[in-house]
Chains A and B, each alone.
Chain A
Amino acid sequence: MSDDIFDPALYADVRRPLAEARTLPRWCYVSEAFHQREIDRIFMKTWNFIDRVDAIPNAGDYIAADTFAGPIIVLRDREGGLRAFANTCRHRGSRLLVGSGNCRGIVCPYHSWTYGLDGKLLGARGMERTAGFDRRHYSLKPIRLETWGGFMFVNFDANAGSLLDHLGELPRKFASYKFDDMVCTRRSEYEIACNWKLIIENAHEDYHTQTVHRSSLGNQVTEPEENPVGNWDAIFLPLETSVAVLPGETAPFPHIPALEGRLAHGTYFTLLYPATQFACVQDCMWWLRVTPTAPSACRLNVGFCFPKGTAARPDFAEKVEAYYRRWDIGIAEDNSTGTLQQAGLHSPFYEPGPLSWKEPKVHSIALWILDRVLDEPATLSPRAAE
């Protein structure tokens, strides 16, 4: 192996067409250097899904989230605007808020520096003798936040394009899901001892379903999305009824009215690069948000959303249990698989393997990542000469 794990020559086999390609080398899943490169060149430069706007409906509502870029705060300000800030005091750096809640201002728990909901430093008692100290220079560090369909995304790169540019054709294609009209009814969180890519790969191939989910969800036969435009991809599972309850159970809630085209006839398991899945069903949606925490560890946040009309039904609390049961089982099975796979990838004897025709998106994901993390070839390629 070359000393430089970012040398494109090491990935020639990954770059072949699917039927001839090999999986990513094991170091992509275990190496600290590869992990750091992914953080620097992918996660820090792109739009990352965080949560729903309905998580913070009122002025002063906030959520504190841990990201690969450290802790952040997402809140609703006095004017109803959504804002995101680095969750670190401008004095000696303490984390300001934990969990979620409502606050009128942000008071540091260490020395009581106090910030408005707009991030401005309003009070810093005890600083009156500090030379040239100007409160205006010590506002909270803002982070870019944009929304689509009630979903909030943050971007740590001030130079990145807009969220809508990033999503390409997806908002138009999925318009009839009317995500704006949804509400998140349940959230869950898992710490998983595996690389983030293992969860994302697993969520976008059906090859494993007849093994991993044989006693629960059963086999699923999906169709890969052809030529998606934007930083997303999908596999489509044709099924006239909702896939969000276990086989044999009847989904009790109505379909979203006026779903267009294939949306009415199955489920889109949709990858929002780099590390979020939106599973979009005829009667609901759920998200998987994966946050890398180390080369061999990640956090999975899951949220379950229904149309507001469905969530307002008198029988919602009772009947939604069928959905939650299905999700808890399916997610736990996939998480266990991720942990097992990671343990195996730690073996120095693991060599890249071949892919099944049922895993085209595992291949696409590998290529999308390599496009962003590898060093440019040293020689002038035709692309560089453009």
Chain B
Amino acid sequence: MISEGMFDPVHYAKVRLPVLQAETLPNWCYTSEAFYRREVERMFKRNWNFVGREDELPKPGDYVALDMFGEGVIILRDKSGRLRAFANTCRHRGTKLLQGRGQCPAIVCPYHSWTFALSGELVAAAGMERTEGFDKARYGLIPIRLETWEGFVFLNFDDKASSLRDYLGNLPDYLASHSLADMVCVRRREYDLACNWKIYLENAMEEYHTPTVHKLSIGAQVMVREDSAGAWNGLYMPTEQTIALLAEDLGSAFPHIPTLDAKAARGMYFVVIYPMTFFAFTQDCLWWLQQYPQGAARTKVVIGSCFPRATTARPDFAERVEKYYRRWDKSLPEDNAISELQQAGLSSSFSKPGRLSFHEPVVHDIANWVLDRVLEERATGGAA
């Protein structure tokens, strides 16, 4: 593995070629902490990162505390019903304020009871009355940018970044007929995996592995590349029936989303929103895989499952949705296991870049999207 000049474009010339001439990323892109830190600084902290659904925090005071690549974040709904995000650190001596999920009328620091309103304002700081020039108004929680699209919540750590709408490009138009604002998240599951975040995303966006990895569950899938403008990439898979159920459970399928356009009614979309969110939009539901990297070789993956509100209101919903859960609980561990195997193999000091199949164009796109952001600028005046 190289350590010096790791970000020199010269090491990546073959990754930059067209997919059928290209090589895969060098293994250090998956194993090096230095490469990972560069991704955090140049990608994750500058781009919009998906964090969940608005409907997961329905009432004022509902909150969730997340670890986003080392940054502690609180997302909550304030008293006026507005969603807000803050850095999860007390303005006194820095203690983490909230953990997990829950409900609170205000945020009380567990160390010295400094108390913050849901708006972030510091409303009480007992024992600070003798501290010279201490002005509570200057010690509110530090806000983080939060924007939403059709109920999907995204954060951005960069004040200068353009809007979420700009970032998503033509994706909202593309999925307009899915009535996404009307979806409700009904289940979340977390997996803690010994793999780099890119490995998981690459796996989700290529079909080449399906006849091998999923041969006993969901089987082979065939997909078509979609035109995208914006920070996303999509694959369309023609299918008359939902793929969110195993073949033997198709009798339990819920009705299709009534507003689907002709194409959406006869297939489904796999979408990656860069840098690290995967969505599957089927005719009857959607699920996402959101990644929370914990270092070069460790990733927490959250799967969220959503159905139209009308479907969740059906009297037989609780019973029939179990068949959907069964499908996810079967296929995801297969992808989790192969991802950890791939990470283990890539840690070989003999690992060399491989070639890509025509089944893997998005794997190539992901690599190049990352390189566009993490590499040093090419020296000017060269032949390139």
Task: Give residues in A with beta carbon < 8 Å to B.
Answer: 44, 66, 69-72, 86-96, 98, 108-112, 126-127, 129-133, 138, 141, 143, 156
| B237 close to A (CB within 8 Å) | no
Q: Give chain B residues whose Cβ lies under 8 Å from the Cβ of A131.
A: 20-21
A-B contact pairs, 5 of them (CB 8 A): A69-B350, A70-B348, A86-B348, A93-B27, A126-B358
A68 closest partner in B (C-beta): B349
Q: A92-B342, A133-B355 are in contact. List 19 more A-B contacts (CB 8 A).
A: A70-B345, A70-B347, A71-B348, A72-B348, A86-B348, A86-B350, A88-B345, A89-B345, A91-B354, A92-B354, A93-B24, A93-B351, A94-B341, A95-B341, A109-B338, A110-B213, A111-B212, A126-B358, A156-B350
Partner of A70, one of B350, B358, B359: B350
Q: Give chain B residues whose Cβ lies under 8 Å from the Cβ of A92.
A: 24, 202, 342, 354, 363
| B209 close to A (CB within 8 Å) | yes
A-B pairs with beta carbons under 8 A, tally:
105
Contact B212 A112 (CB under 8 A): yes
B27 closest partner in A (C-beta): A93
Which 7 pairs between the two chains have the least Cβ-Cβ distance?
A70-B348, A86-B350, A88-B345, A95-B345, A141-B350, A93-B346, A95-B344
Contact A138 B354 (CB under 8 A): yes
| B69 close to A (CB within 8 Å) | no
Contact A112 B355 (CB under 8 A): no
A94 to B337, CA, bound (A): 11
CB distance from A180 to the nearest CB of B (A): 30
A71 to B213, CA, bound (A): 21
A138 to B27, CA, bound (A): 16
CB distance from B325 to the nearest CB of A (A): 25
Partner of B345, one of A44, A71, A129: A71
Asked, given contacts A70-B348, A71-B344, A94-B341, whether A89 binds B358 with beta carbons under 8 Å apart, the answer is: no
A138 to B358, CA, bound (A): 17
Count of B interface residues, CB-CB < 8 Å: 30
Asked, given contacts A109-B213, A132-B21, whether A156 binds B341 with beta carbons under 8 Å apart, the answer is: no
B203 closest partner in A (C-beta): A110
| B35 close to A (CB within 8 Å) | no
Partner of A88, one of B20, B202, B348, B358: B348
| B208 close to A (CB within 8 Å) | yes
Contact A130 B209 (CB under 8 A): no
A168 to B232, CA, bound (A): 61
Q: Give chain A residues whose Cβ lies under 8 Å from the Cβ of B363.
A: 92
CB distance from A86 to the nearest CB of B (A): 3
Q: Give chain B residues whose Cβ lies under 8 Å from the Cβ of A70.
A: 344-345, 347-351
A126 to B358, CA, bound (A): 7
Contact A93 B349 (CB under 8 A): no
CB distance from B124 to the nearest CB of A (A): 40
As a 0/1 sequence over residues 180 to 206 of chain B, the CB contacts with chain A under 8 angstroms (1 = contact) are 000000000000000000000010000
CB distance from B13 to the nearest CB of A (A): 15
A226 to B324, CA, bound (A): 71
Q: Which of B21, B24, B342, B345 has the most CB of A within 10 A?
A: B345
Asked, given contacts A126-B357, A130-B20, whether A88 binds B208 with beta carbons under 8 Å apart, the answer is: no
CB distance from B332 to the nearest CB of A (A): 16
Q: Give chain A residues whose Cβ lies under 8 Å from the Cβ of B21.
A: 130-132
Task: Give residues in B with beta carbon < 8 Å to A.
Answer: 20-21, 24, 27, 30, 202, 208-209, 211-213, 338, 341-342, 344-352, 354-359, 363
Main secondary structure of the interface of A (DSSP, over half): loop
Contact B213 A129 (CB under 8 A): no
Asked, given contacts A69-B349, A111-B212, A156-B349, whether A138 binds B342 with beta carbons under 8 Å apart, the answer is: no
Q: Give chain A residues whose Cβ lies under 8 Å from the Cβ of B359.
A: 126
Partner of A94, one of B211, B338, B350, B358: B338
Partner of A110, one of B341, B348, B358: B341
Q: Give chain A residues whose Cβ lies under 8 Å from the Cβ of B213.
A: 109-110
B358 closest partner in A (C-beta): A129
Contact B351 A86 (CB under 8 A): yes
A44 to B349, CA, bound (A): 10
A126 to B356, CA, bound (A): 9
Q: Which of B27, B211, B342, B352 has the most CB of A within 10 A?
A: B342
Q: Give chain B residues whose Cβ lies under 8 Å from the Cβ of A98.
A: 341
A91 to B354, CA, bound (A): 4
A352 to B107, CA, bound (A): 49
A42 to B356, CA, bound (A): 35
Q: Give chain A residues whose Cβ lies under 8 Å from the Cβ of B345.
A: 70-71, 87-89, 93-96
CB distance from A157 to the nearest CB of B (A): 11
A111 to B355, CA, bound (A): 13
Contact B348 A87 (CB under 8 A): yes
A110 to B357, CA, bound (A): 13
CB distance from A39 to the nearest CB of B (A): 9
Q: Give chain B residues whose Cβ lies under 8 Å from the Cβ of A89.
A: 345, 354
CB distance from B204 to the nearest CB of A (A): 13
CB distance from A320 to the nearest CB of B (A): 34
CB distance from A101 to the nearest CB of B (A): 15
Contact A130 B358 (CB under 8 A): yes
Q: Give chain B residues whose Cβ lies under 8 Å from the Cβ of A132.
A: 21
A70 to B358, CA, bound (A): 29
Contact A93 B355 (CB under 8 A): no
Q: Give chain A residues whose Cβ lies under 8 Å from the Cβ of B211.
A: 112
A93 to B208, CA, bound (A): 14
A70 to B30, CA, bound (A): 13
A71 to B347, CA, bound (A): 7
A133 to B358, CA, bound (A): 12
Q: Give chain B residues whose Cβ lies under 8 Å from the Cβ of A143.
A: 350
A86 closest partner in B (C-beta): B350
Contact A111 B357 (CB under 8 A): yes
